[in-house]
Structures are given as structure tokens and as C-alpha cells.
Amino acid sequence: MKQVNVAILGCGTVGTGVARLLLDNGDIIRDRIGCALHLKYVADIDMDRARGLDLAPGVMIPDAAAAIADPDVHIVVETIGGEGIAKKLIMGAIAGGKHVVTANKALLAKHGNAIIEAATARRVDLAYEASVGGCMPIIKAVRESLVGNRISGMTGILNGTCNYILSKITDEGVDFKTALAEAQAKGYAEADPTLDVGGYDAAHKLAILSALAFGMKINFDDVFIEGISRITPLDIEFAAQFGYRIKLLAIAKFDGESVEARVHPTMIPFDNLLSNVNSTLNAISIKADAVDEILLYGHGAGMMPTASAIVSDLADIARNLASDGAGRIPVMGFQADTIRSIPVMSMDDIVTNYYFRFDALDRPGVLAAISGILGKYAISLKSVHQKGRKANGSVPVVMLTHQAREADVSKALAEISVLDVMVGAPMLIRIEDQNGQD
Amino acid sequence: MKQVNVAILGCGTVGTGVARLLLDNGDIIRDRIGCALHLKYVADIDMDRARGLDLAPGVMIPDAAAAIADPDVHIVVETIGGEGIAKKLIMGAIAGGKHVVTANKALLAKHGNAIIEAATARRVDLAYEASVGGCMPIIKAVRESLVGNRISGMTGILNGTCNYILSKITDEGVDFKTALAEAQAKGYAEADPTLDVGGYDAAHKLAILSALAFGMKINFDDVFIEGISRITPLDIEFAAQFGYRIKLLAIAKFDGESVEARVHPTMIPFDNLLSNVNSTLNAISIKADAVDEILLYGHGAGMMPTASAIVSDLADIARNLASDGAGRIPVMGFQADTIRSIPVMSMDDIVTNYYFRFDALDRPGVLAAISGILGKYAISLKSVHQKGRKANGSVPVVMLTHQAREADVSKALAEISVLDVMVGAPMLIRIEDQNGQD
């Protein structure tokens, strides 16, 4: 095989990046894989979007369906995004026997099982390295490098927007709104930032990774999701006093029977490498029996890092084409007939350590009332901190707990929140601290 | 293909680990790759070494050659080590058409070009993920994940023994000898520690990685190597004052024409993730045009982490066997006919920032004499620190330089070292600081 023909659907940031990388680094790619990745089509309704690219005549076309229908096209790259037209085109490409590469995590998280089933049945490759962690080779690491391991957990910073905002609040003491506005001004956050700051994007990625790591069907609906919009500079300051930094973590754990899958702001100790991953960067730590732990770090988004991951998928598929190896690696890392529906644990059953912050009126008996309720639900405290500074007559009361069950914590906080002395809703931040979990 | 037959040659720590992983995790490996990795032989002259393994009768054999000669064996795993018998057996296996997996970095660094040539000619796979960075998937990342990138540099902590010793000196202020003795007591260093503390092991790995990243022949002879035995607690203390930690780094850079390849103790800033990689752990940062930077972290040695990397190689080869894809990825990541002999820059031509420590008698004119010689060689100083404390009548004079050429630095230090007022040889530590290189 001298040449593999590629069609890119969608000429936005990522599609443009892929086209640019194929054009600029085509020589070294060919030297490595032994055949050319030839850019046959870039399809976009808005033909002007290819302006920055030096495309040969006829490469830019307005009709994605025409690119899919061309029998010379081997691989279709979907960089349109969203769950409508993107899904339709991917399913059409698979039906037509094309191999597919996508970075579309929302689509895979919500409709991945059906798409994977179609690709497996049609014996075409479906590759998605760019869907999680940008250029970090996390899909390859889990599917290939850890093939001999039983994976027990993953802890990742998987959303650059949130990490930028939290880093900003940490470094400059600004509030969430100011940090978000700055992220938007720099192009790190969308005009409607909900998908990112609400934790949904990280949850999409976690659903994909959990399936891949544990051999389960993709289950996005059961991922617990909590965003970062309630995090204040005060919480970050308290966290630092206890030796923690606050990150939006995507956490998955597997005990052999059920899976924990949750995305929420989390306190992690300074000596955890993840606590030193700042700005828009991503990182993920994977725990597994043979390796103990590996960690990957890199840009989780951006034009060229994402393009790099897509080109690595293209190269893998091109190599499969050269050796008649389509389906060489099953889409989700496990042979299709071994993939199970592993139950995701209810958030109620999670056991972890907690940080609470209560804004209470500075009156006698407040601490007794709060700790009485916590005691009733068997939540035992590791430490209590009352900060002298008052604001509007209230003082922050901060508590760190020993291990407690989420259901108990929810009930206790509901009771505490309706105490007369409480000003505003209680703040709860979960703690991941391997050294301090007791 | 229902079953791929594996023969392990050498039942030391790593060989035992591979056997154990194939036996303990055989079920999940089969679920992932769709065929069994069957342990057909473990060969070792000392048959007692398999005591801890629950092997079926006939698996343990004394004769490695017999395992290679068995036509049913698909893949040979070499875990003997060294450059004598290991090389002979690998060449024999290749000649017999067996695929080969090895963790033997010394062998690959010194004889890799010939072995690779033989494997390429015979169209068998030669895999070596475990040879660099233990379970970190660095070979796969460079060969596959970064396929679309031009790689410009790599900076790695690639020797766990050195990292343990330097971490120990840093954390506890003990001297090199004490830290080494502790490493030996814990089994992290050999009785003869030269290969590790002398920097040679890291240099073996760097030679392999440079070839892989830049598309060049393996060239171990031209790697500059300096070990850690001269590092003192005092240097580590000064480094911390300037915001640096000292690590044994393996550094490779490529400007498109020539390559820098060097292993030496290096000062790196606290905010560099590598400075937070401690104890026996390894990490490597790779710079490339599309991804900017990725970093991998994990155990660089040890029974099961190394076994994990070897099993990932076995799985890759098993997948190739299923699809007639041997040689699917060229051994060194580039098609054989595109690999060049890229010159390695002489150490004299390296330009970087330096830390000097001179132990000088506390007499007038000392600073003038030292800085006069540095000025003569156009080495300009960023800062000078004279520490009050005297030991044996001498005071440490510490200097940080702006960018300077190694050849100039060598000449200047040679002149300074013979000044009457000097007590002992000057200390030189190179600095890698992207923010501070001027």
C-alpha cells in the first residue's frame, strides 16, 4: 500500500489542525509508517474555512456525504463535533466500510455503544485517541501498554478549562466569575461554559476511559458529576493550609464487582504530581496491579495537540491496512463478547474523606449543634478549624472528616443547612489522599 | 490464531515476573487480545530458580537453545541480561524466524544496530518497551503516538538508583556514600553500582531513545556521560536556595542537523514536574512540534513493572501474528531505508547555564582571580554567592552563569583549579531552566 486516502469532515479548529499536520509533516510520517497519509478531502459546508490551508484543487468540498461515498477514501476523520450530523456521518461511513477516527467524546459517551457495535460488526476500525486527554496517549496506554494489567483505578485532570480556572483562583485569589471571564477572553472557555465548568466534558471522558479500562459498556448516565462553580478562594486557602490543592478530578475505581465513576472538585496533597499540573494542562494517573502506577501529562486540547492524536490514529489504521489487520485491536480494548455491564456504584455508597465549610453566625452552641448532627450520622472528625475573621457577622467553620459514607454526609449536611445559625449552604469538598485516608 | 507460544530465556527477577504475569493475568490478557499467551518454556541453567512459579511439567527447561529450536515457539523473551550469551541467543532466535522481546538496554545500546538489521532482514519483530523506563510506555509513545510529530528533545530521569540516591541526599542531607549504602541495603543498587551511579545505564537508554526519536542509528559511543558520585549535600542545599533540585538527567536534543546526547547531574527548577519525581521513580518529558510537550511517569524498574512492559510487547506481536502483520511497525520507528547517521554534537559545543562551586582559601583577591579567568573565556556571571561558613579555612564560592559554551567552561575551570588558593577540584553542575536560559 503506497498511499492511504483520508477525508476530514469539518474544517474547524481540529479539522484544520489535522490537515495542517498531514501537509506539514507528511514527509516524516511517510518515513515512519512507510506509506503516505494522503489528504483527499476536507469537507465543510463553509468552504471559506479552508482559507488558511494550502490545499490542492478539489480537496476542499462542501459535501461530507460525497467524501464518504468515494470508494478511494480509506479513512474518515470526523471533526464536526456534536451529536447530530456527526453521528449520522460516522454511522454512514461505517456502513460504507470506511475506518473512522473521531475526537468526539460527547458522542462516544452518549452513543458510543451503538457506534462501536456497528464498527465491530462491519469490521472497521474506530479510533478515538483524541477524545480523551488530547495528545496524551491515554487510549493507547490503556488498550495496549497495560494489556497485562488488571486496572483498579484512574484519577485524572481531564478538562483544561476547569484546570485553568482553578489554577487562576489558586494563584491570584480571584473569584470563580473573574477566572471564568479570563478563560473566556483567552479562548480557553466557550461563551456557554456549562459543558466544561459543570464537569460534563470530564465525565464524557471518564465514561469512555472506564469502559476501556474495566471491560464494561460505556455508561455515561451513571457518572456522578459536580462542577467547579461553587469553589471560592477561601476554600482554596483552607486547602493550602491543610497541604492540599483543589482540582477537578475524574475518578474511576474498580473493585472487581462494581465501579466508582465520579467527577467533582477534589482536594489532593501537594506531593501528588497531579497537584502540580496547572493552567490548561491535563494529566491522568492509572493504578494497575503490575505497574502500580503510571502517569501521563500533556495538552488536553488545542489545535495541534489534538491533531497529533488523530494522526497517530490514522497511522495505526494505515498500518492495519498494510497488513490486513483491521480490527487488530478491538475498539474498546476487550474482545466484544467479553465486555460486561458492570454496575456503577451509587454515589450514596462512596466512602471517602471530606472537607466541610459552614458559614455560621458567631453564637455560642453552634459548634455543638453541627458536631451533634455529624455524630448522629457516624461522621467522625479529624480536625475542626474556626477562623477568627467575620464577614457579615458569620464565621467560617471548617472540618475535615475521617472516612465517611456519602449518604450519611448528605443527610447530615441537609440537617445542618436548616439550622437557624447557618448563613448560606454548606460547602463540601471530597478529599483523595492515599496517605491520609482513615 | 488461538494461542501464541512464548519461551522465556532466563529466570531471574524479570523472567520470573513475566512468567507470573502470564499465569496470574492470563484470563484478562486473553479477553483483551483474543488469544492466549501460552507460556511454553522457561529456560534457565539453574532449574531451581523457577521454585516460586506454579509451572506445568516440562515448562522449566535448562537449555535455552532447545526452546529456540522448538518450531512451536512463536516469541522468545530474553531476560538474561549482559552482552554475551544474551546476544548469541537473540541472534539465534532471529535466525530461526522467532520474534524477540528483550529488556536488555546495554545490549541494544552497544550492539542494537546489528541486531535490528538481522531482525529487519528476517522480517521478525524485535520489541524492547521494557528496555527504557520500565513500565512507562515510552517506546510506544515515541514510535506510535508521536508519529505525526517532529521530535526536538527529550529530558528524562531514567535511572531509579540514581534518583533514589539523590532524593535521599536531598531529603536527609546525608552524603553520597551513605545514600548509596542505603540503596544497596534496599536492593535498589547493585554491589558494584558503577553502571547506575556512573550514568551508563541512563546513557544506554538515551542512546536507544535518541535513535527512535530522531531517526538515527543507535550511537552510544558519542553520548556524554557524567555520574552522580561527586554531588554533595552542600550543592543540593545551594541548588534549593536558587529554586532548583538536582537530578541525573538524560538529555537529547535535535536541531535538524545534529544531536545533543548527554547524561549528567542537572539543576532543574521546582516548577518542572521532573523535579517532583522522587525515590526510584522515572519520568520523561518529550518535546515535539505538534504536542508541545508530553510527559510519562512510572516505575522504571522492578519485577512486575518491567514484566508489564514485556507483556505489552508480547501482546503487540501476538496481534501482529493474528493479522500477518510482523514488521507492521519498523523496529526503530522509521522505515529502515530512511534511518540516517546523524552526528552527535561534541560536548565542547554544548551551550547551557552552569553552577560552579569553588572551595577557596579565604584570602583577598580570590574572587578577582576566579572571575578574571572566567571573563577571559567570555563566561559571564548571573550571580555570585560567598557563603560565610568556613571549613578547614576554605569558603565555598558559588557562581551561576549566563549561557556559556562547554569548551570555554572546561578551559576556564582547568585554569582556576590550579590557582594556589583553590582547595580541591571545582564543582560544575549544568542547569536546564527554560525560563532562565539567558
Average pLDDT in the A171-195 region? Answer: 96
Region of residue A187 (phi > 0: left; psi between -120 and 50: alpha; otherwise: beta): left
Q: How far is A192 from chain B (nearest CA, A)?
A: 27
Q: Do B271 and A276 touch (CB under 8 A)?
A: yes
Closest to A271 measured CA to CA, from A435, A438, A159: A435
**Are both B289 and B314 inside the same structural domain?**
no
pLDDT in tens, A235-280: 999 999 999 999 999 999 999 999 999 999 999 999 999 999 999 9
Closest to B80 measured CA to CA, from B66, B64, B95, B69: B64
B14 annotated as ligand-binding? yes
What DSSP letter does each residue of B188-225 carry, written as one string?
SS-SS-HHHHTSHHHHHHHHHHHHHHHTB----TT-EE
Average pLDDT in the A155-163 region? Answer: 98
What are the C-alpha distances in Å from B1 to residues A335, B5, B74, B104, B321? 14, 11, 11, 29, 8
Q: d(Cα A423, Cα B126) in Å, to the nearest integer?
A: 67
CATH number, domain with residue A205: 3.30.360.10
Main-chain phi, psi angles of A6, to 5 degrees: -120, 135
* Cβ neighbours for A253, distance < 8 A, ≥ 6 positions apart: A152, A153, A154, A259, A260
3-state DSSP assignment of residue B324: coil
Q: What is the pLDDT along chain B (438 residues), one digit of tens a residue?
A: 789 999 999 999 999 999 999 999 999 999 999 999 999 999 999 999 988 899 999 999 999 999 999 999 999 999 999 999 999 999 999 999 999 999 999 999 999 999 999 999 999 999 999 999 999 999 999 999 999 999 999 999 999 999 999 999 999 999 999 999 999 999 999 999 999 999 999 999 999 999 999 999 999 999 999 999 999 999 999 999 999 999 999 999 999 999 999 999 999 999 999 999 999 999 999 999 999 999 999 999 999 999 999 999 999 999 999 988 888 999 999 999 999 999 999 999 999 999 999 999 988 889 999 999 999 999 999 999 987 666 667 889 999 999 999 999 999 999 999 999 999 899 999 999 987 667
Residue B390 is predicted with a pLDDT of 65
Closest partner residue to A323 (CB to CB) among B271, B294, B323 is B323
Q: Is the pLDDT of residue A391 over 80?
A: no
Task: Examine residue B438 and state whether it is found in any structural domain, yes or no.
Answer: no
Task: Examine residue B394 and state whether it is found in any structural domain, yes or no.
Answer: yes
Burial (CB count <10 Å: 0-12, 13-18, 19+), residue A337:
exposed
Residue B364 is predicted with a pLDDT of 85
Q: Write out the residue range of the structural domain in which residue B177 sits.
A: 138-299
A194 annotated as ligand-binding? no
CATH number, domain with residue A358: 3.30.70.260
Residue A269 is predicted with a pLDDT of 97
Residues of A within 8 A of B294 (CB-CB) are 135-137, 296-298
Q: B249: how many CB neighbours lie within 10 A of its CB?
A: 27
Burial (CB count <10 Å: 0-12, 13-18, 19+), residue A383:
exposed
Q: d(Cα A155, Cα A251) in Å, to the nearest integer?
A: 5
Q: How far is B359 from chain A (nearest CA, A)?
A: 35
Q: Do A290 and B311 touch (CB under 8 A)?
A: yes
Residue A323 is predicted with a pLDDT of 86
pLDDT in tens, A285-328: 999 999 999 999 999 999 999 999 999 999 999 999 998 888 89
Residues of A within 8 A of B328 (CB-CB) are 319-320, 322-323, 325
A13 annotated as ligand-binding? yes
Residue B434 is predicted with a pLDDT of 81
Residues of B within 8 A of A273 (CB-CB) are 273, 276-277, 297
**Are both B319 and B275 inside the same structural domain?**
no
Closest to A259 measured CA to CA, from A352, A159, A189, A347: A347
Q: Do A148 and B21 touch (CB under 8 A)?
A: yes
Q: Is the pLDDT of residue A438 over 90?
A: no
Task: Examine residue A27 and state whether it is found in any structural domain, yes or no.
Answer: yes
**Are both B277 and B142 inside the same structural domain?**
yes
**Are both B194 and B293 inside the same structural domain?**
yes
Q: d(Cα A50, Cα A368) in Å, to the nearest integer?
A: 66
**Are both A320 and A388 inside the same structural domain?**
no
**Are both B26 and B70 inside the same structural domain?**
yes
Q: Is the pLDDT of residue A388 over 70?
A: no
Task: Examine residue B436 and state whether it is found in any structural domain, yes or no.
Answer: no
**Are both B147 and B294 inside the same structural domain?**
yes
Residue B392 is predicted with a pLDDT of 67
Domain count across chain B = 3
Main-chain phi, psi angles of A271, to 5 degrees: -85, 0
3-state DSSP assignment of residue A25: coil
Helix residue ranges per DSSP H, A81-199: 85-95, 105-122, 138-140, 160-172, 176-185, 194-197
Q: d(Cα B205, Cα B186) in Å, to the nearest integer?
A: 23
Q: Do A276 and B273 touch (CB under 8 A)?
A: yes
Task: Examine residue A438 and state whether it is found in any structural domain, yes or no.
Answer: no
**Are both B129 and B262 inside the same structural domain?**
no
- In chain A, the percentage of residues whose pLDDT exceeds 90 is 92
Closest to B165 measured CA to CA, from B131, B199, B207: B199
**Are both A145 and A245 inside the same structural domain?**
yes
Of A338, A358, A393, the one marking the end of a domain is A338
Q: Do A25 and B129 touch (CB under 8 A)?
A: no
Identify each DSSP E strand in A44-95 by its residue range.
60-61, 75-78
* Cβ neighbours for B203, distance < 8 A, ≥ 6 positions apart: B109, B220, B223, B225, B250, B263
Helix-strand-coil percent breakdown of chain A, rounded to 5?
A: 40, 25, 35
Task: Examine residue A72 and state whether it is found in any structural domain, yes or no.
Answer: yes
**Are both B164 and B281 inside the same structural domain?**
yes
Closest partner residue to A299 (CB to CB) among B21, B292, B305 is B292
**Are both A112 and A147 inside the same structural domain?**
no
Q: Is the pLDDT of residue A34 over 90?
A: yes
Closest partner residue to B308 (CB to CB) among A137, A148, A296 is A148
**Are both B198 and B253 inside the same structural domain?**
yes
**Does the annotation count B253 as an active-site position?**
no
3-state DSSP assignment of residue B417: helix
Q: Is the pLDDT of residue A421 over 70?
A: yes
Residues of B within 8 A of A145 (CB-CB) are 129, 135, 137, 140, 308-309, 312
* Cβ neighbours for B242, distance < 8 A, ≥ 6 positions apart: B267, B355, B400
- In chain B, the percentage of residues whose pLDDT exceeds 70 is 98
Give, rounded to a whole angstrom, the gap between the first and last alpha carbons of chain B: 59
Q: Do B150 and A32 touch (CB under 8 A)?
A: no
Average pLDDT in the A162-171 region? Answer: 98
Q: Which grid cell sits at B105?
A: 538496554
Residue A392 is predicted with a pLDDT of 67
Q: Is the pLDDT of residue A339 over 80?
A: yes
Task: Examine residue B371 and state whether it is found in any structural domain, yes or no.
Answer: yes
pLDDT in tens, A51-62: 889 999 999 999
Task: Examine residue A230 and state whether it is found in any structural domain, yes or no.
Answer: yes
Q: Which residue is closest to A27 within chain B, CA to CA?
A: B148
Residue B437 is predicted with a pLDDT of 65
Confidence at A222, pLDDT banded by 50, 70, 90? very high
B409 annotated as ligand-binding? no
* Cβ neighbours for B52, distance < 8 A, ≥ 6 positions apart: B16, B20
Q: Do A32 and B290 touch (CB under 8 A)?
A: no
